Chain A
Amino acid sequence: MAAEGPVGLRGWTLLGILAAGLWAAWALRLDPAGLVPGQGGLAVARELFARAASPALAYEAEVVPEGIVPLWLRALQASRTTVVFAAAAVSLSAACGLLLGFLASTAWWADDPAGGRAGLSKRIRRAAAPLLYGATRTLVALMRSVHELLWAVLFLAALGRSNLTAVIAIAIPYAGTLAKVFSELIDEAPREAAAALRAAGAGPLQVFLFGLLPRALPDMSAYALYRFECALRSSAILGFFGYPTLGYYIAASFENLHYGEVWTYLYTLVALVALVDLWSGVLRRRFVR
């Protein structure tokens, strides 16, 4: 590109981004004065943050029902539920994402240019592949474009509150995201090995399974692990709909003004995410070497 005056393409881009930001702020009437809390809000915030350094070790309610598990145990149980929901959702979405990711990738279409006379099956495949690809891409985009909370609202209304409802609500957008990323990883994987197998007479599916997929698999596993961390947060948030994950207890304690308990559960969530992060980091390093 030749020089384009004193500003240049990069300069215009930066100016454009700045202008868009200013316009958005004006359109939303963003006023820094809104950040100054009102009297009531200030009091709640002060009370909440006063407890940050001293999370509750026991229930703060004045009357604790008989036979209830201690607070620390309840936090652990809620953590377990959070992990179980996340694991179920990610397993389901990984399976679906693998299938959809395969259909949404183009790497397996590639016929060799000198495939001899085009047989019937090959002609069908050649015609059907772009259709299947387009349909899958659209489906995957739809799955991703709706947030798991909205899916949860939809499914709760339609199916009622069962564990499966929550798992599916998380799994749908996750499967969409995994499918998109999987398909891109598959398409970007080096193709020399695939070409060699094709030259040795392997069929398109065999080439995909043994020449392409193995090359993309380490990155795919690492990304699926990362999605598991995200699923933990989603699973905790689904507590707001009444599932006994950490989010449920955080919301309940907050409503009851038991701020110490809120911090207990929050710290448990942070520890949980950090723990999974550590574990998946070790695994990822083993996958991608």
Chain B
Amino acid sequence: MITAGFQLAGVCVVFGGGVAALRDVDLAVEPGEAVGLVGPSGAGKTTLLRLLNGTLRPTAGSVAVGGADLAALPPRDLRALRSRIGVIHQDLDLVPNLRVVKNVLAGRLGRLSLLGSLRLLLLPPRREVRRVYEILERVGIADKLYERTDRLSGGQRQRVAIARALYQDPAALVADEPVSSVDPARARYTVALLAELCRERRLTLCVSLHSLDLARELLPRLVGMRRGRVLFDRPAGELGDADFHALYDLEPDEVLAHGC
């Protein structure tokens, strides 16, 4: 699997308590395509992204990655599939008291046996450290290779998270609000970097963003979501202000609703 697309057909997700997070969502992302998800908090963006690597299963409908229906995959294959999807959150999912190199190396665990992973993490071969170094170089923090991760700034940690996803040698990158905790300049840099990396390596990219401006500027295709439904799905250039008004013109009960 070099690069993988996503196909969602008739997907509904209902959480306990009968709250529908996604209703009848159809979405097809071609291999190598970059898609931005926009919409207010609670629209179902996070839920949708969690479906893409099988962290969440749909209540109805089907999710396919690289042509394989996730529901039909035996655990071993599901694990193999996950190891090929790089997921980037903010910067909280790194181990703060480990060195950067270890955090990045941990991206490979999904494709290793227990013994293999012990060897990689405790006695990393020079070849692998070299690879980690090259990836860090690409994301601009090569000098932090042996730094303790908690000594890095928020923006630098985020790049460590991106480097870990790249070290997975992924077929697709999925990023959930990757920049909601950094300042606008860094946010722009990070999203641009993600888009660039995916173009360079022919990776599929699905990223959810709060900032409309960033999404319009850096991503070719935008999917607008509201109340668990896809409101629009069009090239960024074709979207007008009216579309975004429709997206964010919240009703009072939506303002109070929490994100999911």
Measured CB to CB, the residues of A under 8 A from B are 112-119, 122, 190, 192-193, 195-197, 199-203, 205-207, 209-211, 214-215, 217-218, 289
Distance in angstroms from A98 CB to nearest chain B CB is 15
- Are A114 and B54 in touch, CB under 8 angstroms? yes
**Known contacts A209-B118, A210-B106: A200-B168 contact under CB 8 Å:** yes
Q: A116-B54, A200-B109, A215-B96 are in contact. List 10 more A-B contacts (CB 8 A).
A: A116-B77, A119-B74, A119-B75, A196-B94, A199-B82, A199-B87, A200-B110, A206-B109, A210-B95, A210-B102
Instruction: Report how many A-B pairs have Cβ atoms within 8 Å.
Output: 99
Give the distance to chain B from A195, nearest Cβ to Cβ, in Å: 7
Knowing A193-B95, A201-B111 are in contact, say whether A210-B75 is a contact too (CB < 8 A). no
A202 to chain B, nearest CB (A): 4
Beta-carbon contact of A193 and B109 below 8 Å:
no
Interface string of B220-245 (1 = CB under 8 A from A): 00000000000000000000000000
**Roughly how many angstroms separate A115 CA and B74 CA in the complex, as a whole number?**
9
Cβ-defined contact, B114 with A203, below 8 A = yes
- B204 to chain A: closest CB distance in Å? 16
Tell me if B260 counts as interface (CB < 8 A to partner A). no
Residues of B within 8 A of A201 (CB): 79-84, 109-111
CB-defined contacts of A112 to chain B, threshold 8 Å: 55
Min C-beta distance of B5 to chain A, whole Å: 19
B114: chain A residues within 8 A (beta carbon): 203, 205-206, 209
Residue of A118, A207, A214 most packed against chain B (CB within 10 A):
A214
Q: Which residues of B contact A210 (CB under 8 A)?
A: 95, 102, 106, 109, 117, 121
Asked if A117 and B86 make an inter-chain contact with CB atoms under 8 angstroms apart, the answer reads no
Tell me, rounded to whole Å, the shortest Cβ–Cβ distance linking B177 to chain A: 14
How many angstroms from the CA of A192 to the CA of B70 in the assembled complex?
24
Shortest distance between the CB of A74 and any CB in chain B (Å): 44
B89 & A192 in contact (Cβ 8 Å cutoff): yes
B residues near A207, Cβ cutoff 8 Å:
109
Chain A hits for B164, CB < 8 A: 200
Can you give 21 contacting A-B residue pairs, CB < 8 Å? A114-B56, A115-B78, A116-B70, A116-B74, A116-B77, A119-B74, A119-B76, A190-B92, A197-B109, A199-B53, A200-B85, A200-B107, A201-B79, A201-B83, A201-B84, A205-B114, A206-B109, A206-B117, A210-B117, A211-B106, A217-B97
What is the distance, in angstroms, from A121's C-beta to the closest C-beta of chain B? 8
Chain B 51-64 interface mask (CB, 8 Å, partner A; 1/0): 00111110000000
Chain B residue contacts of A193, Cβ below 8 A: 93-95
Inter-chain contact B95/A214, CB cutoff 8 Å = yes
Q: Are A192 and B55 in contact (CB under 8 A)?
A: no
Residue of A nearest to B90 (CB): A192
Contacts A115-B75, A115-B78, A210-B117; is A192 near B106 (CB within 8 Å)? no
Verify if B9 is at the interface (C-beta below 8 Å from A).
no
* Contact yes or no, B95 A116, CB < 8 A: no
A209 to B110, CA, bound (A): 13
Say whether, besides A200-B168, A203-B79, A192 and B93 are in contact (CB < 8 Å): yes
Tell me, yes or no, whether B212 is within 8 Å of chain A by CB.
no
Closest to B109 in A: A202
Once A122-B75, A205-B114, A206-B109 are accepted as A-B contacts, the answer to whether A199 and B55 lie under 8 Å apart by CB is yes
Residues of B within 8 A of A218 (CB): 97
With an 8 A cutoff between CB atoms, is B246 at the interface? Answer: no
The 10 lowest CB-CB distance pairs between A and B, nearest first, are A201-B110, A201-B83, A196-B93, A201-B82, A202-B109, A116-B78, A114-B57, A192-B93, A201-B79, A119-B75
